[in-house]
Structure 1
Amino acid sequence: MSGRLGTGLLALLLMLLPGLALAQVSVVRAGDHAAFTRLTISLPRGTTWDLVQSPGRATVSLSGTIQSIDISQVFERIQRDRLREVTVEPGQTLTLELACLCRIEPSTYGTQLLILDLRDGPPLPQRPDISMPLADRPLADPRANLSLAQPVPPQMPALPAMPPPDPPEGAMATDPTSAPPPPEIPAPLRSFAEARVNALPDLPAPLSETEERLARQLEDSLLRAIGGAATEGLLQTDPRGAAALSAEERSLPASDDTATADPGVAALTATLEDAQPGPSNRFVLSGDDCALAMPPTVSTEETGAFSDQLARLRSALVGEFDRPDPRAHLELAQFYISQGFGAEARSVLDALALDTRETREMASVARILEYGHDPQDNPFASRTDCDSEAALWGILALDPLPPGQDIDTVAVKRAMMTLPDPLKRYLGPILAQRFVSIDEGDTARDLMRVLERETEITSPRQEMVAARLESQDSGQPDRTAYHEIIANNDDVSAEALLHYTEDTLAGGKPVDPETIGLLESFRAQYRDTPIEAGLTRTEIAAHSSTGNFTAAYDLFEAAQAEMTGPDRAKVADSLARNLSMNASDAAFARLYFRHTPLIRDGIPPETANLVADRLLSLGFLDEAAGYLAPGAEGDAGRSRRLMRARLALAQNLPRQAEGELTGLTGRDADRLRAELRLKTNDFLGAETLFRAIGETEAADSAALLARDWSTLQSSQAAPGATLADVVTTQEAAPVDLPALGPPSLTASRDALSQSAETRNALQKLLSTLQVDTALDQ
Structure 2
Amino acid sequence: MIRFAFLVATFITGATGAAAQDLTVRSGEHEGYTRLVVQVPPDTGWVLKQKKNGARLNVALKDATFQTGSVFQRLTQNRLAAISQAEPGGVLELEFGCDCVASAFLFKNTMIVVDIAPGTFLPPLTSDIPAPIFPKNLKENEKSAPKQSIDALALPLLNLNANGFEDQLSARLLQGADRGIVDLNISPVGPRASAGNQSQFMPPEVELNVQVTSILDELNGLLGPDIPMVKRRPPCISSAELAFDDWSDDRPFPEQAAQLRSGLYQEFDAIDKKRALKLAKLYAHSGFGAEAISALDLLGEQSLEAKRIAAIAHVLDKGPLTEDNPFQGLQRCDGDAVLWAALSEGHLQEDANLTAIEQSFARLPDHLRRHTGPALSDILVSGDKLEAARRVLRSVDRVRTQTSASVVQAKAKIAAAERDALRTANLLTEVIETSDATLEAPLALARLIDKRWLERGSVSPQELDLAESYTVEFRRADIGPMMQRTHAVALSLSQEFDASLELVTELPEDAESADALNRVVSILTERADDATFLHRILSLPAAQSRGLTTDTAIAVADRLIALGFSRQAYALAKRPQDRLRRGKRARLRAKALLLDQRPHQALLELADNQTDEANMLRAEALIIAGDYAAAGDLIRSSGLVDDANRLFWLADQPDHADLEINAKFNQVVVTTQHLTDGTARLPETPLADAENLLRDSAETRQRIADLFAILSQD
Q: Which TM-score tier does this pair reach, normalised by the shorter chain?
A: 0.5 to 0.7
SS in structure 1 at match of 2:421: coil
Residue 432 of structure 1: how far off its partner (Å): 1.4
Look up the match of 2:606.
661
Look up the match of 2:193.
74
SS in structure 2 at match of 1:334: helix
Asked if 1:689 is matched to 2:637, the reply is: no
Look up the match of 2:583.
638
Query: Distance in 1 between the 2:695 and 2:286 partners?
Result: 110
Query: Distance in 2 between the 1:306 and 1:434 partners?
Result: 30
Q: 5+ residue gaps in structure 1? A: 28-41, 97-103, 105-113, 118-216, 236-294, 769-777
Look up the match of 2:264.
317
Paired letter, 1:311 = A
Look up the match of 2:339.
392
Q: Point out the more displaced range, 336-345 or 612-621.
A: 612-621
SS in structure 1 at match of 2:209: strand
Q: Point out the more displaced range, 422-431 or 578-587.
A: 578-587
CA 338–347 in structure 1, closer or farther in 2 if over 3 Å, else same: same
Residue in structure 2 matching 1:551, options 499, 521, 545: 499
Paired letter, 1:310 = A
Q: Is the 8 A contact 1:51 1:60 kept in 2?
A: no
Query: Distance in 1 between the 2:387 and 2:574 partners?
Result: 49
Asked if 1:761 is matched to 2:677, the reply is: no
Look up the match of 1:518.
466
SS in structure 1 at match of 2:431: helix
Paired letter, 1:330 = L
Residue in structure 2 matching 1:567, options 508, 512, 515: 512
Look up the match of 1:253.
none
Q: Is the 8 A contact 1:726 1:761 kept in 2?
A: yes
Look up the match of 2:445.
497
CA 380–332 in structure 1, closer or farther in 2 if over 3 Å, else same: same
Residue in structure 1 matching 2:166, options 54, 62, 78: 62
Query: Distance in 2 between the 1:655 and 1:65 partners?
Result: 74
Query: Distance in 2 between the 1:86 and 1:582 partners?
Result: 79
Query: Distance in 1 between the 2:322 and 2:284 partners?
Result: 18
Query: Distance in 1 between the 2:340 and 2:705 partners?
Result: 84
Residue 450 of structure 1: how far off its partner (Å): 1.9
Residue in structure 1 matching 2:431, options 485, 500, 503: 485
Query: Distance in 2 between the 1:86 and 1:668 partners?
Result: 72
Query: Distance in 1 between the 2:278 and 2:658 partners?
Result: 93
1:215-260 per-residue CA deviation (whole Å, 9 max, x = no partner) reads xx99x99xx99x63xx33437xxxxxxxxxxxxxxxxxxxxxxxxx
Paired letter, 2:538 = F
CA 714–429 in structure 1, closer or farther in 2 if over 3 Å, else same: same
Residue in structure 2 matching 1:716, options 652, 662, 677: 662
Residue 405 of structure 1: how far off its partner (Å): 6.9
Residue 458 of structure 1: how far off its partner (Å): 4.4
Structure with bigger RCO (C-alpha 8 Å, 6+ apart): 2
Q: Is the 8 A contact 1:86 1:95 kept in 2?
A: no
1:149-188 pair list within 5 angstroms? none
Asked if 1:94 is matched to 2:209, the reply is: yes
Residue 758 of structure 1: how far off its partner (Å): 2.5
CA 461–588 in structure 1, closer or farther in 2 if over 3 Å, else same: same
Residue 676 of structure 1: how far off its partner (Å): 3.5
Residue 729 of structure 1: how far off its partner (Å): 2.5
Give the greater-gyration-radius structure (CA). Answer: 1
SS in structure 2 at match of 1:17: strand
Look up the match of 1:17.
94
Query: Distance in 2 between the 1:52 and 1:308 partners?
Result: 75
Asked if 1:475 is matched to 2:439, the reply is: no
1:216-295 pair list within 5 angstroms? 228=236, 231-234=237-240, 295=242
1:534-554 per-residue CA deviation (whole Å, 9 max, x = no partner) reads 333333333333444333212
Q: Is the 8 A contact 1:299 1:418 kept in 2?
A: no
Q: Is the 8 A contact 1:368 1:374 kept in 2?
A: yes
Scaled by the length of structure 1, the TM-score of the pair is 0.60
Look up the match of 1:2.
19
Q: Is the 8 A contact 2:600 2:621 kept in 1?
A: no
Query: Distance in 1 between the 2:682 and 2:495 partners?
Result: 67
CA 65–298 in structure 1, closer or farther in 2 if over 3 Å, else same: closer
Query: Distance in 2 between the 1:594 and 1:369 partners?
Result: 48
Look up the match of 2:545.
600
Q: Is the 8 A contact 1:448 1:462 kept in 2?
A: yes
SS in structure 2 at match of 1:493: helix
Paired letter, 2:420 = G
Query: Distance in 1 between the 2:430 and 2:67 partners?
Result: 65
Q: Point out the more displaced range, 528-537 or 683-692.
A: 528-537
Residue 454 of structure 1: how far off its partner (Å): 4.2
Look up the match of 1:425.
370
SS in structure 2 at match of 1:595: coil
Q: 5+ residue gaps in structure 2? A: 1-17, 23-60, 69-82, 85-91, 105-116, 126-152, 171-187, 217-226, 684-688
Q: Point out the more displaced range, 353-362 or 549-558.
A: 353-362
Q: Is the 8 A contact 1:333 1:346 kept in 2?
A: yes
Query: Distance in 1 between the 2:167 and 2:240 partners?
Result: 49
Q: Is the 8 A contact 1:687 1:698 kept in 2?
A: yes
Paired letter, 1:3 = A
CA 752–549 in structure 1, closer or farther in 2 if over 3 Å, else same: farther
Paired letter, 1:618 = L
Residue 521 of structure 1: how far off its partner (Å): 2.0
Look up the match of 2:138.
none
Residue 428 of structure 1: how far off its partner (Å): 0.8
Residue in structure 2 matching 1:703, options 648, 653, 666: 648
Q: Is the 8 A contact 2:377 2:393 kept in 1?
A: yes
Query: Distance in 1 between the 2:710 and 2:554 partners?
Result: 40
Look up the match of 1:528.
476
Look up the match of 2:4.
none
Query: Distance in 2 between the 1:8 and 1:554 partners?
Result: 76
Q: Is the 8 A contact 1:642 1:660 kept in 2?
A: yes
Paired letter, 2:192 = Q
CA 737–407 in structure 1, closer or farther in 2 if over 3 Å, else same: farther
RMSD: 4.7
Q: Is the 8 A contact 2:623 2:631 kept in 1?
A: yes
CA 517–671 in structure 1, closer or farther in 2 if over 3 Å, else same: same
Q: Is the 8 A contact 1:384 1:406 kept in 2?
A: no
Paired letter, 1:527 = R
CA 374–470 in structure 1, closer or farther in 2 if over 3 Å, else same: closer
CA 382–696 in structure 1, closer or farther in 2 if over 3 Å, else same: farther
Residue in structure 1 matching 2:310, options 356, 363, 379: 363
Q: Is the 8 A contact 2:322 2:345 kept in 1?
A: no
SS in structure 1 at match of 2:361: helix
Q: Is the 8 A contact 2:325 2:344 kept in 1?
A: no
Look up the match of 1:589.
534
Q: Point out the more displaced range, 509-518 or 658-667.
A: 658-667
Query: Distance in 1 between the 2:273 and 2:672 partners?
Result: 105
Query: Distance in 2 between the 1:115 and 1:714 partners?
Result: 79
Query: Distance in 1 between the 2:399 and 2:410 partners?
Result: 17
Residue in structure 2 matching 1:732, options 664, 677, 693: 677
Percent of residue pairs identical: 22
CA 671–566 in structure 1, closer or farther in 2 if over 3 Å, else same: same
Paired letter, 2:294 = S
Q: Point out the more displaced range, 583-592 or 374-383.
A: 374-383
Query: Distance in 2 between the 1:568 and 1:43 partners?
Result: 59
Q: Is the 8 A contact 1:735 1:750 kept in 2?
A: no
Scaled by the length of structure 2, the TM-score of the pair is 0.65
Query: Distance in 2 between the 1:304 and 1:469 partners?
Result: 38
Query: Distance in 1 between the 2:263 and 2:645 partners?
Result: 96
CA 540–677 in structure 1, closer or farther in 2 if over 3 Å, else same: same
Residue in structure 2 matching 1:335, options 282, 292, 304: 282
